[in-house]
Amino acid sequence: MKIVFVANNKNDRLKKVLPKLERSCQGHNLSRVQFISTLRKKHAIELAKNATEQGCDYLIAIGGDGTLHEVVNGMLQSKAPSTDYPVLGLLPYGSANDFARTAGITNSIQELFKLIESRTTQKIDVGNIILSQTKEIRFFINIAGIGLGPEVVQNIERSSSVFGADFNYFKHIIKGFFSYTKKEVSCTSPLWQWKGRLLQMAVANGRYFGNGICAAPDAKLTNGQFQVSIFGDLSIWDYLKNMGKLKKGVKIVHSHVSYYEATEVVVDNNDACGIEADGEYVGLLPATITIRPNAIDFLMPGDVNE
């Protein structure tokens, strides 16, 4: 059994975690273990792609949603046949760990090895984004955001905060409300259509984004469809007034908030509206977003999506 760990080298917390992880591997008599650290942004894509093509049984991301996003894309972009894909896993040590919230994954090293030893895995879905202008393809495991989210993501990437991820994200949400101009967006699926001024749209495989905001309380990783949550022409006051409900996973009852289900959506706009995936900026609309059912075998408890 070969296990490859891909760690986000920019995460200072990992300096304390990695020695414990190495000792734990020795304690479980695991000899075929490889630890690889990223050197730059998007490096985890390359590392995961190489690990998949060279062959391994488990591919574990150590970091947050961004690191996991890159590892997923590296594996799915590899030349390996899907039958040879490794089992993916996650030790959530990032600034945002929204996928881990949905999947019921903790940062316990002991729990990780329990999952490996019992081979407790779930076949989970993955989202597929195709940008119409560039034909770029990007996969996501959690949520694709359109509208305000991509602007917040770009601002966060250009900033740092000594007060932590929660404060940093909340600060940039507020900043985004004042700087972001709602855009006319159309969203079409085989069963429904929506068009209007958009604050934020979440095409959701997982439930949480934005460091704990439950935008899609009915989303499941294993049901073969997205929950699409659309926050239309909301004011900053309406959004902030409902933040408590969003954190608790309560659906917002408002004339400008809609919830749908879909296996594919086509999102269009004529005014440079951005899209992000798993907290990583992707590009500009228009885009087609499609679900890929049962695309990944993932180390996670079996009861979180019941």
pLDDT tens per residue, range 107-154:
999 999 999 999 999 999 999 999 999 999 999 999 999 999 898 888
Percent of the chain predicted with pLDDT > 70 = 93
Measured distance CA(275)–CA(219) in Å, rounded: 19
Q: Is the pTM above the cut of 0.85?
A: yes
Q: With 60 as the cut, is the pLDDT of residue 43 above it?
A: yes
Region 205-226 average pLDDT: 96
Region 89-106 average pLDDT: 93
Q: What is the pLDDT of residue 27?
A: 76
User: Mean pLDDT in the chain?
Assistant: 91
Q: What is the pLDDT of residue 247?
A: 93
Domain with CATH 2.60.200.40 in the chain: 128-294
Confidence category of residue 264, pLDDT binned at 50, 70, 90: very high
Percent of the chain predicted with pLDDT > 90 = 73
Q: What DSSP letter does each residue of the chain carry, written as one string?
A: --EEEEE-TT-TTHHHHHHHHHHHHHHTT--SEEEEE--STTHHHHHHHHHHHH--SEEEEEESHHHHHHHHHHHHHSSS-GGGPPEEEEEE-SS--HHHHHHT--S-HHHHHHHHHHT-EEEEEEEEEEETTT--EEEESSEEEEEHHHHHHHHHHT---TT-HHHHHHHHHHHHHHHPPPEEEEEE-SS-EEEEEESEEEEESSSEETTTEES-TT--TTSS-EEEEEE-S--HHHHHHTHHHHHHTPPP--TTEEEEEESEEEEE-SS--EEEETTEEEEES-EEEEEEEEEEEEE--SSTT-
Domain with CATH 3.40.50.10330 in the chain: 3-94
Region 261-281 average pLDDT: 95
Q: With 70 as the cut, is the pLDDT of residue 161 above it?
A: no
The CATH number assigned to the domain with range 3-94 reads 3.40.50.10330
The CATH number assigned to the domain with range 128-294 reads 2.60.200.40
The closest of 67, 69, 250 to 143, measured between CA atoms, is: 69
Confidence category of residue 80, pLDDT binned at 50, 70, 90: very high
Q: What is the pLDDT of residue 24?
A: 86
Q: With 90 as the cut, is the pLDDT of residue 303 above it?
A: no
Q: What is the pLDDT of residue 31?
A: 73
